Amino acid sequence: MRRFRDAALPHLDEVYTLARYLMRNTDDAEDAVQECYLRALRHFDSYRGPAMKPWLLAILRNVCNAEFTRRARGEIPTDYAQDESVTEEMPMWQEPQASPEKVILRQQDSATIRRLVTELPAPFREAIVLREINDLSYQEIAEVAGVPVGTVMSRLARARAMLRSAWNAAEASTAEPGSATASGITL
């Protein structure tokens, strides 16, 4: 118990951060984190490393996915469910035309960055958050997401391409008050 506490508690902020980006609201994120620590505690006996942080994040991801699956079965209808239907086959969004040639990257404040990340489809959001915000290596992301490293690379490439075009397009929407929160998602 004490060993688990010492090993797992220092990662609480990281786990909560991923939960916020995956669940997209505080209440669901808190529930997911609590469930994650309960499950981790139950399975700590069989934990063999290598690193605690990716292990916890993998459990959290499973908790979040189980919740989305439950909702998709119609127990609680939400708009999150449709997110899960997004596959990697979906067409690239408006990528090229939205980014003017001369602009490398517009400056964005962190609230805007959060919103743009939150609006990415689930597999890409997960990959980019694990990489940039949770600071995991490709190998660790592959373990958390349960996919080969090659898939991690292609998801990251796709996530960044989407993010870059949304990023450069965001200036237009911030110029019109209200449209920035039109999705109703806050993070």
> Is residue 157 involved in binding another protein (CB under 8 A)?
yes
CB distance 183 to 170 below 8 Å:
no
Both tokens assigned to 46 = 């069989």
Nearer to another protein, 7 or 58 (CB): 7
> Is residue 100 involved in binding another protein (CB under 8 A)?
no
Considering only the stretches 49-57, 86-94, 155-163, 173-181, report the one whose residues sit in contact with another protein under the rule CB under 8 A: 155-163
Nearest-angstrom CA–CA distance, 70 and 43 = 22
Residues 115-144 that bind another protein (CB under 8 A): 117, 128, 131-133, 137-138
Nearest-angstrom CA–CA distance, 67 and 84 = 11
Nearer to another protein, 81 or 153 (CB): 153
Smallest separation (angstroms) from another protein to the CB of 135? 8
Cα angle value 113/115/121 (rounded, 5°): 105
> Is residue 114 involved in binding another protein (CB under 8 A)?
yes
Smallest separation (angstroms) from another protein to the CB of 42? 4
Nearest-angstrom CA–CA distance, 108 and 95 = 18
- b/e sequence 39-58, b meaning 16+ C-beta within 10 Å: ebeeebeeeeeeebbbbbbb
Nearer to another protein, 67 or 143 (CB): 67
Nearest-angstrom CA–CA distance, 55 and 143 = 8
CB distance 40 to 134 below 8 Å:
no
Considering only the stretches 46-54, 79-87, 97-105, 178-186, report the one whose residues sit in contact with another protein under the rule CB under 8 A: 97-105
Q: Where on the chain is the footprint of another protein (CB under 8 A)?
A: 1-2, 4-5, 8-9, 12-17, 20, 26, 30-31, 33-35, 37-38, 41-42, 67, 101, 104-105, 107-108, 110, 113-114, 117, 128, 131-133, 137-138, 153-154, 156-157, 160, 163-164, 167
